[in-house]
């Protein structure tokens, strides 16, 4: 994708692909949207696709696949053990990342499960640039404690800092001095830090973290799920690496880590995951657990068709023209929202557009889940489904009180090559309407709350009849328009 100057004055992102397969979408009337969000317990995870116009919940497993990926799924060796499909994927990973051993898993969190079981002991710490929901849950289940050593700027919603995802190296050193290296199960850097707005990590930060990890003999693990965006940002924002190819950057980055794991729902544009390493000892330890939790070592719970498509998807990830599609669309949308004065996380990151619900809905009490409320309101106003990334996505404190998130975000994910510019413009328009009518939006409260990862299945109700009022105003402003 490239930003192209138009003769008529605009400068717009221009798609470097054409659409060769489509899926029908419907925009159901606002009365149905109100009913649908009520049936879903105001949890956008529980909406059904028939009621959704633009699905911006996530990019996980929903990025558009290329024609070459789809074609590759027909030429598959689906043997239970020792398939050639596995060898092709393993060789591709080795070629790109320079890691010899590969353990396939069914998705990213399965890698987190195996790594946490193998490395986290009760009373150990796992320092990281920022947590991800499933990562934290697995570490906690195994008795470890997650420590977020982010830079002060990481949580500042309005910023020009290009690498808000960097790990705070001073804090890391202080932690090692305080608790001792043997109490640290591993150090984790998450590429393209999901929960703070898809913010990238500088290549130099990976390198310096790795130097500290080596000095103290602590395993250094990279979560490469959101690597594609992070690669684009290293190339475009880190002066020192501007002339490097995406392949060279990937290799330099991978070389810093003892272990790299990823959700292939994001990296590789399929549905699966993997762990790669050059350390034979770690490989053997993880291999023992693989058949118990995932599957035999040459498929690990994945369909071999997906594995073929992953091999191609990983290769395509080395193409800057492909990986820039997400970030360029996101930049366009963020800049338009900033012009309209709508609070959104800056600088634009990867994965999606992250609305700052704290600033959008200051009148809603924090305990009434601002980001969740904004997500429900956005769905009612537009049929666009986003994801709450705030207090609802946190686990409760040990004393049962709500752990108020440091940032309250409504994420509107922009999976690659899925939406058109007019759909992006529609989303901006409905956000503008919502912002003008933000006083009408109220809070939510739980009426069904699972103990772990409550954001997936929890159900909430509005604390007043604010949703009906929002619908009335919509009808007054838009008349019969959907
Ligand atoms: C950074 C990060 N790590 C891990 C995961 C978990 O991956 P999966 O959803 O494939 O289990 C995700 C998923 O969104 C993620 O964004």
Of 108, 192, 350, the residue with max ligand 1 atoms within 8 A of its CB, to mutate for a pocket test, comes to: 108
Dihedral (CA of 326, 22, 225, 139) sign: positive
The closest-lying atom of ligand 1 relative to the alpha carbon of residue 273 is 10
The per-residue pLDDT for 153 is: 95
The per-residue pLDDT for 33 is: 98
For residue 319 the two structure tokens come to: 């193409």
CATH number of the structural domain 67-319: 3.40.640.10
The per-residue pLDDT for 210 is: 98
The closest-lying atom of ligand 1 relative to the alpha carbon of residue 58 is 14
Contacts of 66-71 spanning 24+ positions with Cβ under 8 A: 66/17, 66/269, 66/312, 66/313, 66/316, 67/20, 68/312, 68/316, 69/269, 69/270, 69/309, 69/312, 69/313, 69/316, 70/309
pTM: 0.94
Of 110, 111, 194, 259, the residue with max ligand 1 atoms within 8 A of its CB, to mutate for a pocket test, comes to: 194
The per-residue pLDDT for 2 is: 85
Task: State pLDDT tens for residues 135-188.
Answer: 999 999 999 999 999 999 999 999 999 999 999 999 999 999 999 999 999 999
CATH number of the structural domain 2-59+322-478: 3.90.1150.10
Which pLDDT band, with edges at 50, 70 and 90, does 337 fall under?
very high
Task: State pLDDT tens for residues 236-277.
Answer: 999 999 999 999 999 999 999 999 999 999 999 999 999 999
Task: State pLDDT tens for residues 26-61.
Answer: 999 999 999 999 999 999 999 999 999 999 999 999
Which pLDDT band, with edges at 50, 70 and 90, does 452 fall under?
confident
Are the CB atoms for 462 and 361 separated by under 8 Å?
no
Task: State pLDDT tens for residues 195-230.
Answer: 999 999 999 999 999 999 999 999 999 999 999 999
Which pLDDT band, with edges at 50, 70 and 90, does 450 fall under?
very high
Q: Is the CB of 198 under 6 A from ligand 1?
A: no
Q: Is the CB of 113 under 6 A from ligand 1?
A: no
The per-residue pLDDT for 221 is: 98
pLDDT(480) > 90: no
Cβ-based neighbours of 26, under 8 Å, separated by 6 or more = 50, 53
The full set of domain ranges for the chain reads 2-59+322-478, 67-319
pLDDT(395) > 90: no
Task: State pLDDT tens for residues 291-302.
Answer: 999 999 999 999
pLDDT(454) > 90: yes
Picking from 367, 359, 377, the residue whose alpha carbon sits closest to that of residue 440 is: 377
Q: Is the CB of 133 under 6 A from ligand 1?
A: no
Average pLDDT, rounded, for the chain: 96
């Amino acid at each position: 994708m490239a930003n192209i100057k138009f003769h008529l004055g605009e400068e717009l992102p221009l798609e470097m692909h054409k659409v060769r397969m489509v899926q029908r979408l419907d925009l159901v009337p606002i009365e149905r949207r109100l009913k649908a969000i009520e049936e879903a317990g105001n949890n956008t995870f529980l909406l059904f696709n028939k009621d959704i116009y633009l699905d911006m919940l996530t990019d996980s497993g929903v990025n558009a696949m290329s024609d070459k990926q789809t074609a590759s799924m027909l030429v598959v060796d689906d043997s239970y053990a020792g398939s050639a499909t596995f060898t092709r994927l393993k060789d591709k990973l080795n070629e790109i990342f320079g890691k010899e051993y590969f353990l396939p898993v069914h998705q990213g969190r399965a890698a987190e499960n195996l790594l946490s079981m193998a490395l986290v002991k009760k009373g150990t710490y796992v320092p990281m640039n920022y947590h991800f929901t499933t990562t934290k849950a697995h570490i906690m289940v195994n008795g470890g404690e997650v420590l977020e050593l982010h830079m002060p700027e990481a949580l500042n919603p309005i910023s020009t800092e290009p690498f808000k995802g960097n790990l705070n190296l001073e804090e890391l050193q202080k932690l090692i001095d305080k608790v001792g290296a043997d109490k640290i199960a591993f150090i984790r850097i998450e590429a393209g830090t999901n929960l703070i707005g898809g913010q990238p990590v500088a290549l130099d930060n990976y390198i310096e973290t790795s130097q500290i990890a080596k000095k103290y003999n602590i395993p250094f693990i990279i979560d490469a799920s959101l690597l594609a965006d992070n690669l684009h940002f290293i190339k475009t924002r880190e002066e020192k690496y501007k002339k490097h190819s995406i392949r060279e950057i990937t290799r330099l980055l991978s070389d810093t880590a003892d272990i790299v794991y990823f959700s292939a729902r994001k990296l590789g544009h399929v549905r699966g995951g993997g762990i790669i390493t050059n350390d034979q000892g770690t490989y053997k330890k993880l291999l023992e657990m693989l058949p118990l939790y995932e599957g035999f070592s040459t498929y690990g719970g994945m369909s071999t068709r997906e594995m073929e498509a992953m091999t191609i998807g990983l290769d395509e990830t080395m193409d800057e023209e492909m990986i820039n599609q997400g970030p360029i669309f996101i930049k366009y949308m963020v800049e338009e929202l900033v012009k309209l004065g709508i609070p959104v996380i800056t600088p634009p990151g990867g994965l999606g557009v992250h609305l700052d619900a704290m600033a959008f809905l200051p009148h809603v009490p924090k305990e009434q889940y601002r980001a969740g409320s904004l997500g429900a309101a956005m769905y009612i106003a537009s049929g666009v489904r986003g994801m709450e990334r705030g207090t609802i996505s946190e686990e409760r404190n040990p004393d049962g009180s709500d752990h108020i998130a440091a940032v309250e975000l409504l994420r509107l994910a922009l999976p690659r090559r899925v939406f058109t510019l007019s759909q992006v413009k529609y989303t901006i328009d409905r956000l503008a309407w919502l912002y003008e009518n933000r006083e009408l939006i109220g809070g939510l409260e739980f009426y069904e709350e699972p103990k772990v990862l409550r954001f997936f299945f929890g159900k909430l109700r509005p604390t007043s009849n604010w949703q009906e009022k929002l619908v009335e105003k919509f009808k007054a402003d838009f008349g019969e328009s959907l």
